[in-house]
Amino acid sequence: MPKGPIPTLFIDGEAGTTGLQIRARLAAHPGLGIRSIPEAHRKDPAAKRDLMAEVDLVVLCLPDEAAKEAAEMAAALGTDAPKLLDASTAHRVDPAWVYGFPELAKGQAEAIAAAPRVANPGCYPTGAIALLRPLVDAGILPPDFPVTVNAVSGYSGGGKAMIAEFEAGTADPFFLYGLTLEHKHLPEMQAYARLTRRPVFVPSVGDFAQGMLVSVPLHLDLLPGSPAPADIEAALAAHYAGAEWVKVVPADAKARLEPRSLNGTNLLELRVYGNALRKQAVLVAKLDNLGKGASGAAVQNIGLMLGLDVAAALPLAAE
């Protein structure tokens, strides 16, 4: 039951990119109250603790260490503790937290709805896991298969410093990074795709604000039974049948695939590009890195955790 007439929400870190977008998406929701700490008390731990005790859900849009501290503060409230949704990396592979990807598997949405603590997925892992998990679950992709994940994101996913660099025109128009092969999204990607072998992940950034493509190349003749590209597409389509925000889209190999057409939505599109003769395929996920990759996913989880219809805040077409 809500603590008041309607459920209430506090976004801890509401001035950041994700926090601002969550607030903007939910500001007009008639069944939700959004609370804030007065500016003069933003750095007062007692003020934060008091507000946490009053609201039903706290969304943590904070750096990892600050998110851990805030989670501990909330836990110390005992029966007054709010539900938590963490948008940081801090708790994504913590078994005490439910992973906030409702389409991950059967029963995941119900687990999120019942959970006191939910970890919002990362943008890159959302695309990679969406492509890989159904294939592992269907027995098409062995968990120990050597997987490579390539991805390109808009610069808004890099935080304030990267955004400023691109907007000032001083950033390179495209670059690879994470070349130590220790990107912080890797543990999450491996865990929820159910891979026993650590994937090789090569992220990159392009000179555009929002949008993302995540691709996984596969040698089909190295997979059990040498499946055809159509078999891969069918497995994905079966897994996401009926999903509102995840769609398997027929791939047009003659067209260019750009990363920005889903910006402003919570949609995630999956495509299978294949060459049956060469027994090769490239699986591609397209999403808005600030939508289904961040704030859109958070709003979807908020709706589940508070029992709210949030469809109006998650448009199915770019605004």
Q: At what angle do helices 123-137 and 229-239 cross, to 10 degrees?
A: 110
Active-site residue, from 85, 123, 284, 302: 123
Encoding tokens for residue 272? Answer: 């299978």
Per DSSP, the three-state class of 40 is helix
Chain position carrying tokens 């977008």: 21
What is the rounded distance in angstroms from the CA atom of residue 148 to the CA atom of residue 215?
8
What CA–CA distance (Å, rounded) separates 104 from 92? Answer: 14
**61 catalytic, yes or no?**
no
Cβ-proximal residues to 150 (8 Å cutoff; 6+ apart), any chain? 202, 204, 214, 215, 216, 217
Q: Which residues of 86-121 are buried (b: 16+ CB within 10 A; e: fewer)?
A: bbbbbbbeeeebbbbbbbbbeebbebbbebebbbbb
Catalytic residues: 123
